[in-house]
Structure 1
Amino acid sequence: MELALVIGVVVIALAFDYTNGFHDAANAIATSVSTRALTPRAALLMAAVMNFIGAHLGTQVASTVGKGIIDPPDGAHGLVVVGAGLVGAITWNLITWYFGLPSSSSHALIGGLVGSALVAGVGVHWDGVLDKVVIPMILSPLVGFTLAAVIMIAILWIFRKSNPHKTGKGFRYAQTVSAAAMALGHGLQDAQKTMGVIFLALVVGGYATNGEEIPQWVILAAAGAISAGTYAGGWRIMRTLGRRIIALDPPRGFAAESAAATVLYTAAIGFGAPISTTHTITSAIMGVGATKRRSAVRWGVAGNIITAWILTIPASALVAALCYFALHWAVE
């Protein structure tokens, strides 16, 4: 029975990873596609490959998700808690994808795990949630916005006397590199979150211990699932990020991607913090738009996005709580 539950949770985790890929594909490539630096299909292929590579660059974020958020009991009950958390996250991903809102898959996962743990009476590491989730959730958009604005101001000053046509053409090539860096950071961050959940399920099911390293098959499976999802594409959200927030040009696309990638690497490698790639790139796009003029940013669209950010953790927690009762009844 427990083996079947472990397998079921692993499958649900990989399904979440796949939805994470197509939900967040826009994070890495929307700016490059909107500025025509890359064709959509070439951009998706590049992003999928870089996601796969990025997933192999570390396990700090996976350790945070697998050990630092909730403390489920061993056995069937703990597996139900983890499975319900994943279903809550998948549900919120699909809802926000349908409406084209770039919400955070990372925070949907955290919210789902916390929601199912609370109704199950399972311990939540609130200090870990505060230090590794809430504080980075607030800081990463602020840093992304500010850093993108600073990079954009520097670009405007450095190239103030250059030919606009030649400069734009050069930044189209540069965007290929910055988009690849962004996709690598997405794999480094988001694939690890699924690795952490799968490892948590293995520990709860008695097939691993907390002191072990994450098995290679878990890394490969998570990397493959998020890459496949990324290649499937998330066109609804891509339109929002690439066109509806501001009208991007190649220099601004490069600045936004470079700033967001820098924040992702710093959080993952330096702090093991599971930050949202969605929040980071969206705030970076707003930052470069604000350097043009305040009205360049469509603040109404931005407001809808921020509302989705605020709702993500409680909404996914609520869905996960309901799923827990259904799964607990079915297993019992």
Structure 2
Amino acid sequence: MDIFGLVLVVGVAFGFAYTNGFHDSANAIATSVSTRALTPKAALLMAAVMNLAGAFLGEGVAATVSKGIIETPKGHHGMVILWAALIGAIAWNLVTWYFGLPSSSSHALFGGMVGAALAGGTTVIWSGVWEKVVVPMVTSPIVGLICGFLVMLAIMWIFRRANPHRAKRNFRVAQTVSAAAMALGHGLQDSQKTMGVVVMALTISGHHTGSEIPIWVKASTAVVLSLGTWAGGWRIMRTLGRRIIELDPPQGFAAESVAASILYITSYAFKVPVSTTHVITSAIMGVGATKRVRAVRWGVARDIVLGWFITMPAAGLVAAIIFWISWAVVG
């Protein structure tokens, strides 16, 4: 039964990674596609490859996920908690994908973990949730908004005498680099979150005792995330690329560069999980506001931010219900 539970949880974790990939593929490529810097197929292929590469660049975020959010009991009980957490996160990913809402897969996972842990009567590390999830969730979009605004102002000043058509053409080329950097950062951040859950499952089943992540976990998670990215998330791509603001190549380059920088800094300097969705969306709002404040469709932005705040409790509620049902059946 324990082996079956382990296989089931790891399989569902890969399912979450796949939904994470197609849900968040827009984060890396929506701006490049909307400015016509890349064709959709080329952008998706590039994002999938860079997601795959990014998964092998660090382990700090995975350690935070596996040890700093909840404590799972050994054996069958712990497996049911992880199962419920993942189902809650997947359910929220699918709902927000259907409505084209760029919510955070990361915070859906964290909400699912907390909700399942509370329903299962195990320990939630509230200090870790606050410091490693809630604080970055609030601060990273603010930083993205401000930095996006400032970087775009700097670009406008530096290129104020440049030929507009030539500058746009050059920034369209530069966007291939910034989009690749964004996709690499997405792989670095988001693949580690699934890795952390798989390591938790291996640990509570007694199949993993070390501190390093097994290479097969890294490779398989990276491949599944990349396959999900290749599948694409066209509904969300339209929201990020067109509905918030009509982007031009310099704005797209600024937004992607800012978002990618935040992903790398939080991964290596702070080892905290942040949402790629939050940072790219806020950066887009920041660069758009330099044109004029009303250029940003703040009504759309309001709906997106509202989705951010309800993601964790909504995924947590679904996870709690799944735990109670599952425990009643197999507990």
Same-fold status (TM-score > 0.5): yes
**2:65 alignment partner, SS class:** helix
Q: Mapping of 1:207-222 within 5 angstroms?
A: 207-209=207-209, 211-222=210-221
- CA distance, structure 2, for counterparts of residue 317 and residue 197 of structure 1: 16
> Where does residue 123 of structure 2 map in the other structure?
123
Gaps of 5+ in 2: none
Amino acid at match of 2:207: Y
Alignment TM-score, normalising by the size of structure 1: 0.99
Q: Find out whether 1:160 has 2:160 as its counterpart.
A: yes
Q: CA deviation at 1:325?
A: 1.0
Matched, 1:68 2:68: yes
TM alignment of 1:116-155, pairs within 5 A = 116-155=116-155
The one-letter code sitting in structure 2 at the alignment partner of 1:291 is T
For 1:56-80, what per-residue CA distance to the aligned partner results, in whole angstroms no more than 9, with x for missing partners? 0000000000111110100000000
- Render the CA deviation track for 1:282-332: whole Å, top value 9, x for unaligned: 000000001110110000000110111010000000000000012112223
- Which of structure 1's runs of 4+ aligned residues deviate more than 2 A? none
Q: Distance in 2 between matches of 1:126 and 1:268?
A: 21
TM-score when scaled to structure 2?
0.99
- CA deviation vs aligned residue, 1:214-263 (integer Å, no higher than 9, x gap): 10000001100110000000000000000000010000000000000000
Determine the C-alpha separation between the residues in 2 that align with 1:228 and 1:330: 33
Partner residue in 2 for 1:279: 278
Deviations 1:102-122, CA, capped at 9 Å, x for gaps: 000000000000000001110
Deviates more, 1:165-174 or 1:144-153: 144-153
Determine whether 1:170 maps to 2:208. Answer: no
Mapping of residues 193-232 of structure 1, within 5 Å = 193-209=193-209, 211-232=210-231
Residue 219 of structure 1 aligns to which amino acid in structure 2? K
Instruction: Kindly report the root-mean-square deviation, in angstroms, between the aligned alpha carbons of the 2 structures.
Output: 0.6
Amino acid in structure 1 at the alignment position of 2:161: K
Q: Which residue of 1 aligns with 2:305?
A: 306
CA distance in 1, matches of 2:326, 2:170: 54
- Counterpart in 2 of 1:3? 3
How far apart are 1:150 and its partner, in Å? 1.0
- Cα deviations across residues 94-137 of structure 1 (Å, max 9, x unaligned)? 00000000000000000000000001110011111111101000
Aligned residues with identical type, % of pairs: 63
Aligned to 1:71, what secondary structure does the other structure show?
Answer: coil
CA distance in 1: counterparts of 2:72 and 2:57, whole angstroms: 28
Match of 2:187 in 1: 187
**How many equivalent pairs are there?**
331
Match of 1:46?
46
Corresponding residue of 1:235 = 234
In the alignment, does 2:247 pair up with 1:268? no
**In 2, distance between residues paired with 1:326 and 1:13?**
19
1:46 to partner: Cα distance: 0.1
Deviations 1:167-226 (A, max 9, x none): 0000000000000000000000000000000000000111112x4311000000110011
Q: Distance in 2 between matches of 1:307 and 1:239?
A: 18
Q: Which structure 2 residues correspond to residues 286-297 of structure 1 after superposition, within 5 A?
A: 286-297=285-296
2-structure distance, mates of 1:16, 1:183: 18
Q: Which runs of 5+ in 1 are unaligned?
A: none
Question: How big is the shift at 1:149?
Answer: 0.9
Paired AA for residue 290 in structure 2: T
CA offset digits 1:7-47 (Å, max 9, x no partner): 00000000000000000000000000000000000000000
Q: How far apart, in 1, do the equivalents of 2:264 and 2:251 lie? A: 20
Q: Report the equivalent of 2:247.
A: 248
Q: Secondary structure at the match of 1:70?
A: coil
1:103, 1:178 → 2: CA distance?
22
Distance 2:59 2:220 in 1: 14
